[in-house]
């Protein structure tokens, strides 16, 4: 289903409240909530609201385990552009999560270690009980995570080559496209599909065209987000601008 909100703020609050509900429900049962998280501009306000819920309404992250979708490869965790830095600044350093419960693909591994790491990442998600919820943004290529055009529906966590458009869209943060890594480690489409709930968020008119293709277009590897049409537990959460081309 598709839900359209008047703006990014109200949509983000709604998503944050759903995450808070999962965390609280699990906590009552003495279980851990397992969250699949995304980086980029899209989820920033969700994280801001989660921080507010922590600071003002006592929401605790002590029983939360997180798995991030992706990381550039190679990437040092303390680099400004790393998704480790992003998550620390935008969420983790403001809440009471145990750093041992935070999982982000490791961009520092040698080429001969990375495949084993990817397999272990999948196993760690499974061992944690699977993802209760996965947050997604969408790239203008139609990528979810960094599953670029050509990604298989059953793909797992792996090293991928970034699309040229994705690298162009990232160029500002890196001071030029030539500085954007050509590769990334990403959860696969299959990894994302195993989550018990999937929320894809998109804001602003820059996403309107790809949202139309993702939601209404033919299902195809050319636009990996179209695979989400096959899931019965996905919700597209949009602002009016991102939804503006939907029929
Ligand atoms: C980020 C990720 C990407 C982004 C997408 C949109 O972890 O997996 O798929 O969600 O590139 O990025 P923004 O939100 O910056 O428009």
Tens place of pLDDT for every residue, the chain, 247 residues? 999 999 999 999 999 999 999 999 999 999 999 999 999 999 999 999 999 999 999 999 999 999 999 999 999 999 999 999 999 999 999 999 999 999 999 999 999 999 999 999 999 999 999 999 999 999 999 999 999 999 999 999 999 999 999 999 999 999 999 999 999 999 999 999 999 999 999 999 999 999 999 999 999 999 999 999 999 999 999 999 999 999 9
Count up the domains in the chain and report the number: 1
Q: Catalytic residue at 197? A: no
**Could you tell me if residue 64 is inside a domain?**
yes
CA-angle at 114, arms to 183 and 120, nearest 5°: 125
**Ligand 1 within 6 A of 145 CB?**
yes
**Could you tell me if residue 114 is inside a domain?**
yes
CA 89 centroid distance within chain: 16
- The span from the CA of 150 to the CA of 142, in Å, is 11
**Ligand 1 within 6 A of 143 CB?**
yes
CA of 24 from ligand 1 middle (Å) equals 27
**Could you tell me if residue 6 is inside a domain?**
yes
**Could you tell me if residue 244 is inside a domain?**
no
- Domain that includes residue 31, residue range: 2-239
Tokens representing 243 are: 């939804």
**Could you tell me if residue 246 is inside a domain?**
no
Mind giving me the DSSP string for 35-61?
EEE--SSTTHHHHHHHHHHHHHH----
**Could you tell me if residue 82 is inside a domain?**
yes
**Closest CA relative to residue 135, chosen from 1, 16, 240:** 16
**Could you tell me if residue 247 is inside a domain?**
no
Query: Which residue has a Cα nearest atom 2 of ligand 1?
Result: 145
Which CATH number goes with the domain that contains 93? 3.40.50.1360
Taking residue 27's Cβ as centre, other Cβ atoms within 10 Å add up to: 16
Strand partners of residue 144:
147
**Could you tell me if residue 166 is inside a domain?**
yes
**Ligand 1 within 6 A of 40 CB?**
yes
Ligand 1 pocket, mutate which of 83, 134, 137 (most atoms under 8 A from CB): 137
243: which residues sit within 8 A by CB, 6+ positions away?
2, 4, 208, 211
């Amino acid at each position: 289903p598709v839900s359209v909100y008047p703006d990014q703020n109200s949509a983000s609050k709604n998503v944050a409240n759903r995450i808070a509900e999962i965390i609280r429900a699990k906590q009552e049962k003495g279980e851990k909530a397992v969250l699949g998280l995304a980086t980029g501009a899209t989820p920033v306000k969700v994280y801001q609201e989660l921080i507010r819920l922590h600071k003002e309404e006592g929401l605790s992250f002590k029983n939360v385990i997180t798995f991030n979708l992706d990381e550039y490869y190679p990437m040092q965790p303390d680099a400004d552009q790393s998704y480790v830095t992003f998550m620390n600044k935008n969420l983790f350093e403001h809440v009471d999560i145990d750093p041992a419960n935070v999982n982000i693909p490791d961009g520092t591994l040698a080429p001969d270690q990375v495949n084993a790491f990817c397999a272990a990442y999948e196993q760690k998600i499974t061992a944690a009980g699977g993802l209760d919820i996965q947050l997604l943004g969408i790239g203008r290529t139609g990528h979810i995570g960094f599953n670029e055009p050509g990604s298989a529906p059953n793909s797992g966590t792996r090293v991928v080559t970034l699309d040229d458009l994705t690298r162009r869209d990232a160029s500002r943060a890196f001071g030029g496209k030539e500085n954007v890594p050509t590769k990334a480690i990403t959860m696969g489409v299959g990894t994302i599909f195993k989550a018990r709930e999937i929320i894809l968020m998109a804001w602003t008119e820059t996403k309107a065209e790809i949202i139309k293709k993702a939601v209404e277009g033919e299902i195809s590897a050319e636009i990996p987000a179209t695979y989400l049409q096959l899931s019965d537990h996905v919700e597209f959460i949009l602002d009016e601008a991102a939804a503006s081309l939907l029929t």
